[in-house]
């Protein structure tokens, strides 16, 4: 263990980022027309959590891009894990969960205003579905108060489970074993030690990694029981260069989850935005999210999606199969069969509720680990933004004249909405809308007095 290797301490569990030797942080982690998945954010960590009573399975997606021999992570865990409680899975499952829950852009097209009926828009009112050790050699460093409780090789990772009596002893042990600790790590480690926390240490076994033939690291999973429903994020902020993005995907039987020590806030949703946003959805969502973070004084956790896994509408991706859900820890489901190949919009009786939370954080704004609770709320919610294309036909009737006269007011409302959501310049928005076929002046030759007051202000005396 006392090899003079340059290793990186990736401080972990959730948001928890790999820290390069230079000190920079690299993250682990109508009609549907676009989605805002985690790829549009830099330094984004993704963590999936299955929670059922005290039972917990955590899947940590890793986006480390440095030299594999320099990678390692240290994760606070509540108990010493046996080898069978540690697993390696595939990135595709987390990517699928990300795509399924991503905020989305949808579009509708206005009907001919001269038709005798108007088609109602599809309402987003979904009723909630009914809930239909192995032995290891133990070694002790008495002088440092650090005990290696267990050691395993799982997939391409060499894993050790540590307990410690004091932070300086643990810090010394890590340094003696080749880990580069960021400044300030000792005090954070000390706070976990006081809580009786153990430490899960993982690094890459290069020989086993070569056998996989992969050029990337697969997600690590751990399963355990603990009355605390939490995610430690403080180690990941020790020497991070700015804010980090954390996405938490929770899978439960009961319903939505929320944080208990920070406010959980629903993002604005269901707004009509200008049609040109279709080509700028990534930029729109990032700026909209940043604006909402600022409005909440940078101290809120945001709900982006909450839905029963039975179905989706509109679907940014198919619901996860039973096999995928079981791989993520949903042990109460079976696997295989037709139910593992769900069709869009067709219930599969999965009895799994998924919550997607998004937090932008640093040590100053989020000084505590994230504490969660399960709720019984199974009402559906999604970050959803709407494009409404105006009718382009040559309809000739009084209803069409009234419709066209109403468009500039509607376009102005969309422009104001977009400016308020994102902080974008209103004049620039209007200019792009005009170029995209959403002009702010009516082409109708109304009497001049209508253009002053409009016909809605006329009163009978």
Q: Compare 444 and 449 and report the one with higher pLDDT.
A: 449
Whether residue 395 lies inside any domain: the answer is no
| Helix/strand/coil percentages in the chain, nearest 5 | 25, 30, 45
Q: How far apart are CA 72 and CA 204, in angstroms?
A: 7
Residue 296 forms part of a structural domain: yes
Tokens of residue 106, six digits: 């949808």
Residue 358 has pLDDT above 80, yes or no: yes
| Mean pLDDT, range 402-420, rounded to an integer | 92
Q: How confident is the model at residue 169 (pLDDT cuts 50, 70, 90)?
A: confident
Pair 262, 293: CB distance under 8 Å: no
Q: How far apart are CA 120 and CA 175, in angstroms?
A: 65
Q: Residue 381: which domain range?
A: 7-119+143-386
Measured CA to CA, the distance from residue 46 to residue 53 in angstroms comes to 22
pLDDT of residue 240: 64
Report the chain's mean pLDDT, rounded to a whole number.
80
Number of domains in the chain: 1
Which residues pair with residue 201 across a beta bridge?
74, 160
- Region at 164 (left for phi over 0; alpha for psi -120 to 50; beta for the rest): beta
Tokens of 264: 């959980």
The string of pLDDT tens digits covering residues 12-49 is 343 433 322 222 232 322 677 788 888 888 778 899 99
Mean pLDDT computed over 342-364: 76
Residue 40 lies in a domain: yes
pLDDT range class, residue 386, cuts 50, 70, 90: very high
Q: Give the neighbor-by-neighbor strand order of the sheet with 25-26.
A: 25-26, 17-19, 10-11, 72-77, 198-204, 157-164, 146-154, 139-141
Rounded CA separation 366/40 (Å): 22
Q: Find all residues with CB under 8 Å of 449, minimum gap 6, and list them.
A: none
Are the CB atoms for 248 and 49 separated by under 8 Å? yes
pLDDT digits over 71-102, tens only?
878 888 988 999 999 999 999 999 999 999 99
Evaluate whether residue 418 is within a structural domain. Answer: no
How many whole angstroms separate alpha carbon 74 and alpha carbon 164?
A: 13
Please report whether residue 1 resides in a domain: no
448 DSSP β-pair partners: none
Closest CA to 370 of 183, 228, 184: 228
Position 313 in a domain: yes
Phi, psi angle pair for 168, to nearest 5°: -70, -35
Q: How far apart (Å, rounded) are the C-alpha atoms in residues 252 and 240? A: 31
> Would residue 426 count as lying in a domain?
no
Question: Rounded to the nearest 10 degrees, how much is the dihedral formed by the CA atoms of 88, 92, 96, 99?
Answer: 120
As a whole number, mean pLDDT of residues 435-445 equals 74
pTM score, whole prediction: 0.79
Structure tokens at 223: 């399963």
Range 401-423 average pLDDT: 92
Least confident of 47-56, 267-276, 393-402, 406-415: 393-402
- pLDDT band per the 50, 70, 90 thresholds, residue 334: low
Whether residue 80 contacts residue 199, with contact meaning beta carbons closer than 8 Å, is answered with no
Under 8 Å between Cβ of 101 and 249: yes
pLDDT digits (tens, 9 = 90+) for 207-220: 888 888 887 889 99
Query: Which pLDDT belongs to residue 33?
Result: 79
How far apart, in whole angstroms, are the C-alpha atoms of residue 82 and residue 222? 10
Assigned domain for 245 exists: yes
Please tell me the least confidently modeled range out of 158-162, 427-431, 441-445.
Answer: 441-445
Neighbours of 219 (CB within 10 A): 24
Backbone region of residue 233 per phi and psi (left: phi > 0; alpha: psi in -120 to 50; beta: other values): alpha
- What percent of the chain has a predicted confidence (pLDDT) above 90? 47
Q: In this predicted structure, what is the pLDDT of residue 1? A: 36
| Candidate from 121-125, 304-308, 347-351, 420-424 with smallest mean pLDDT | 121-125
């Amino acid at each position: 263990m006392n090899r003079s290797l340059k290793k990186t301490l990736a401080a972990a569990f959730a948001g928890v980022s790999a820290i390069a030797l230079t000190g920079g942080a690299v993250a682990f982690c109508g009609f549907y027309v676009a989605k805002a998945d985690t790829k549009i954010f830099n330094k984004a960590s993704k963590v999936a959590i299955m929670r059922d009573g005290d039972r917990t399975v955590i899947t940590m997606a890793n986006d480390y891009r440095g030299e594999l021999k320099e990678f390692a992570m240290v994760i606070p865990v509540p108990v010493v894990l046996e080898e069978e409680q540690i697993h390696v899975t595939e990135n595709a499952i987390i990517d699928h969960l990300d795509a399924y829950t991503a905020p989305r852009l949808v579009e509708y097209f206005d009907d001919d205003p001269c038709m005798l009926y108007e088609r109602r828009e599809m309402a987003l009112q979904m009723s909630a579905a009914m809930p239909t050790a192995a032995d290891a050699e133990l070694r002790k460093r008495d002088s440092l108060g650090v005990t290696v409780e267990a050691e395993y090789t799982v997939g391409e990772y060499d894993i050790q489970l540590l307990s410690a009596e004091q932070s300086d002893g643990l810090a010394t042990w890590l340094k003696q074993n080749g880990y580069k600790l960021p400044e300030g790590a000792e005090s954070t480690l000390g706070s976990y030690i006081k809580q009786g926390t153990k430490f899960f240490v993982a690094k890459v076994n290069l020989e086993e990694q070569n056998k996989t033939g992969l050029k990337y690291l697969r997600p690590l999973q751990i399963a355990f029981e603990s009355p605390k429903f939490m995610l430690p994020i403080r180690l990941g902020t020790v020497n991070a260069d700015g804010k980090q993005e954390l996405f938490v995907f929770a899978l439960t039987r009961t319903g939505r989850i929320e944080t208990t020590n920070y406010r959980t806030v629903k993002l604005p949703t269901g707004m009509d935005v200008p049609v040109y946003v279709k080509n700028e959805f990534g930029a729109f969502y990032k700026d909209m999210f940043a604006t909402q973070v600022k409005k909440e004084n940078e101290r809120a956790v945001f709900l982006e999606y909450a839905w029963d896994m039975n179905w989706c509408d509109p679907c940014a991706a198919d619901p996860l199969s039973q096999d995928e859900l079981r791989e993520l820890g949903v042990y109460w489901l079976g696997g295989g069969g037709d139910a593992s190949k769900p069709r869009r919009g067709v219930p599969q009786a999965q009895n799994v509720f998924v919550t997607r939370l998004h937090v932008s954080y640093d040590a100053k704004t989020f000084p505590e680990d994230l504490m969660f609770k399960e709720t019984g709320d199974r009402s559906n919610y999604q970050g959803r933004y709407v494009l409404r294309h105006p009718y382009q036909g040559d309809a000739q009737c009084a209803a069409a004249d009234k419709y066209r006269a109403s468009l500039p007011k509607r376009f102005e409302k969309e422009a104001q909405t977009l400016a308020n959501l994102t902080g974008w310049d209103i004049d620039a928005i209007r200019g792009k809308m005009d170029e995209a076929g959403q002009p702010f002046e009516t082409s109708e030759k109304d009497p001049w007095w209508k253009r002053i007051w409009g016909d809605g202000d006329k009163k009978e005396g």
